[in-house]
């Protein structure tokens, strides 16, 4: 048996919240977690919407039924299968979404990338590649992709202001794991934020950083 690959065109989608124009001061790319519906995820940020902020929510390239063979549809950024190509594909996809907005024509913009849960590893790989301008990175209830360490002089993660957010009752992050992560992230010069809650998006926690 021989494994083979072929590159194809694929239609991907993303959702936006707000309006990008001369009044916009902040753009925030938000990447959802495993099995999440991107529309529901983006709705979590509606209470933060003002005339000065514009949200962009790309949907992961792999959709599936979350339970059984029908019902709720979620998406995932990657699995353990063909991992290297999945990372390459979604990084190229995110680059194309970024480029489509011609953000360089709005010099006043502050650009944030936020990744929640599985979207955190995804967004850190994307930001670390250093191809696009980001001012701030928010790792929310997720991990920085471990293969990115140690960071190099060209790593995008040393050029951004980095915030790590996690709930004090998050069922996926034990105290020993959090301690280990903080040690690993020391090279990133990150700010740690703990809130009272579980593995969910809390818009009020994010608000001060946007």
Among 69-78, 113-122, 176-185, the range with the most confident prediction by mean pLDDT is 113-122
- Is 6 within the bounds of a domain? no
Number of domains, the chain: 1
- Is 67 within the bounds of a domain? yes
- Is 1 within the bounds of a domain? no
Query: What's the distance, CA 193 to chain centroid?
Result: 17
Q: Check residue 59 and report its DSSP letter.
A: P
Average pLDDT, the chain: 94
Residue 171: which CATH number? Answer: 3.40.50.1820
- Is 22 within the bounds of a domain? yes
pLDDT the model gives residue 138: 97
pLDDT band for 174, please (50, 70, 90 cuts). Answer: confident
- Is 79 within the bounds of a domain? yes
- Is 151 within the bounds of a domain? yes
Between CA 120 and CA 143 the distance in angstroms is 6
Q: Is the pLDDT of residue 158 over 90?
A: yes
Between CA 34 and CA 198 the distance in angstroms is 16
Range of the structural domain that residue 48 is part of: 14-209
Q: Is the pLDDT of residue 187 over 90?
A: no
The two tokens of residue 187 are 């090279």
Q: Is 18 left (phi over 0), alpha (psi -120 to 50) or beta?
A: left
State the pTM of this model. Answer: 0.94
- Rounded to 10°, the helix 118-128/83-100 angle is 70
């Amino acid at each position: 048996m021989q494994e083979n690959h072929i590159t194809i065109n694929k239609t991907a989608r993303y959702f936006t919240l707000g309006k990008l124009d001369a009044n916009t001061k902040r753009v925030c790319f938000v990447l959802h977690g495993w099995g999440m519906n991107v529309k529901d995820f983006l709705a979590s940020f509606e209470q933060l919407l003002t005339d000065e902020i514009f949200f962009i929510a790309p949907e992961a390239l792999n959709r599936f039924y979350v339970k059984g063979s029908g019902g709720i549809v979620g998406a995932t950024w990657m699995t353990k299968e063909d991992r290297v190509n999945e990372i390459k594909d979604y990084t190229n996809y995110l680059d194309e979404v970024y480029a489509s907005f011609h953000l360089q024509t709005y010099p006043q913009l502050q650009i944030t990338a936020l990744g929640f849960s599985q979207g955190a590893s995804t967004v850190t790989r994307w930001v670390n590649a250093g191809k696009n301008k980001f001012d701030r990175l928010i790792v929310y209830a997720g991990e920085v992709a471990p293969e990115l360490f140690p960071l190099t002089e060209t790593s995008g993660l040393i050029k951004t202001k980095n915030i790590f957010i996690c709930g004090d009752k998050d069922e996926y992050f034990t105290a020993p794991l959090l301690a280990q992560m903080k040690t690993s992230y020391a090279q990133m010069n990150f700010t740690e934020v703990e809130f009272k809650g579980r593995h969910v998006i809390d818009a009020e926690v994010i608000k001060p950083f946007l």
